[in-house]
Chain A
Amino acid sequence: MQVQSRTVSKSVIVRKAFLTSLPVMAGYVVLGIGFGILLRNAGYGVAWAAAMAVLIYAGSMQYVGIGLLAGGAGIITTILTTVMVNARHLFYSISMVDRYKNAGRYKPYLIFALTDETYSLLCDGETPDREHADLYRFLVSLFNQLYWITGCLLGSLLGAVLPFSSAGIEFSMTALFIASFTEQWLRTREHIPALTGLFSTLLCLLVFGPENFLIPAMLLITLILTLLRGRLGRKAV
């Protein structure tokens, strides 16, 4: 009886994973459609949209990738650009090393599918129960990629004929992060990491401009949190 009360059935896990992933659906479908349209305009059809959504699965990189493909960029340039645009994923993975450690057969996909949005849904460590934690994380990750693929394909197929008067819907992505930020704030008593992230990034945006601030911001955040380890480490862990 005790075991039953602590664990929940798989259908409940699927439903909870779906509900968790819902906020990402609108944002991913809209951003995916935007990508599909741009890629088609650059001369690459639906097969390319599908291949990129399935294999690369990194929103901002795919947008940047359109320019690389269309301009016939070199391989070295492509490698360097990808490292620059996606370096932040290193930090997501670092903070998930312990959590994904024993995820077994789900682990490769969990690592592959660790996008900004999936990270924001899973980084608080909340799961419906302990037994199905890995299945739950796998499903959230998978649902998110399915939304992304759907959006990319829709954009590529429908292209310009789409009645796209939904200006402003891209704010759903911003709202997702603001809601996550607020929820984390309400749930923890130590606010220094959150404030460090917010103000280091703001500072770097002002200093380096909107094209180049991500990497400096990442480094500054890591530096400050490292210096504060003596203070935060004892309380946090």
Chain B
Amino acid sequence: MNTHSAILVIVMAVVTILLRSLPFLVFRKQTPPYISYLGEVLPSAIIGLLVIYCLKDTVITRAPFGVPELIAGLAVVGLQVWKRNPLLSILGGTVIYMVLVQAVFA
């Protein structure tokens, strides 16, 4: 069982590194203009995707209807617009969320 598990860990590691390095291997010499274009526009799109990905398990059809996520998320946006300090925005939003789920909507 341990040998098989070790093989599975190695398989997961190898496939992951292959996925991460494939574009670098394929576009080794000259980056096609299309790929450079994707490199310009994909980052902000993927951050948008990751925001949704993090909130995917939020249930909005029953209590607390995603209200803690909404309030804390808006707090992060507000703090970021106000101070432009990511660490402050993240800490502030997380503390607000923890208070909401532990004390307010518990």
Q: List chain A positions with a Cβ less than 8 A from chain B.
A: 19, 22-23, 26, 44, 48, 51-52, 55-58, 61, 65, 68-69, 72-73, 75, 78-79, 82-83, 86-101, 107, 111-112, 114, 116, 119-120, 123-124, 166-169, 171-186, 188, 193-202, 205, 210, 213-214, 217-218, 221-222, 225-226, 229, 232-233, 236-237
Contacts and interface: CB of A to CB of B under 8 A. Distances in A.
Interface residues of B, number: 66
Interface of B: 1, 4-5, 7-13, 15-17, 19-24, 27, 31, 34-57, 68-69, 72-73, 76-77, 79-81, 84, 86-87, 89-90, 93-94, 97-98, 100-102
Given A167-B98, A168-B101, A55 B10 contact: yes
Contacts of A218: 49
A119 B46 contact: yes
B98 A168 contact: yes
Contacts of B44: 181, 184-185, 188, 193-194, 197
A198 B1 CA distance: 43
B21 to A, nearest CB: 5
21 contacts: A26-B94, A56-B16, A65-B9, A72-B5, A78-B8, A78-B11, A93-B23, A97-B31, A120-B47, A171-B72, A174-B55, A174-B73, A175-B72, A178-B89, A183-B80, A193-B43, A194-B45, A194-B47, A198-B49, A214-B53, A226-B34
Residue from B21, B34, B41 whose CB has the most chain A CB atoms within 10 Å: B41
A222 B38 contact: yes
Given A52-B9, A183-B80, A225-B41, A92 B46 contact: yes
Q: List 9 tightest A-B contacts by C-beta distance, closest first.
A: A197-B48, A197-B45, A198-B48, A168-B98, A174-B54, A123-B43, A171-B97, A175-B93, A82-B15
Main secondary structure of the interface of A (DSSP, over half): helix
A94 B34 contact: no
Contacts of A69: 5, 8-9
A196 B86 contact: no
Residue from A88, A96, A171 whose CB has the most chain B CB atoms within 10 Å: A171
Contacts of A111: 17, 20-21, 24
A103 to B, nearest CB: 10
B97 to A, nearest CB: 4
B8 to A, nearest CB: 5
A237 B37 contact: yes
Contact of A168 (B17, B43, B97): B97
B54 A82 contact: no
Contacts of A194: 44-45, 47-48
Contacts of A89: 16, 19-20
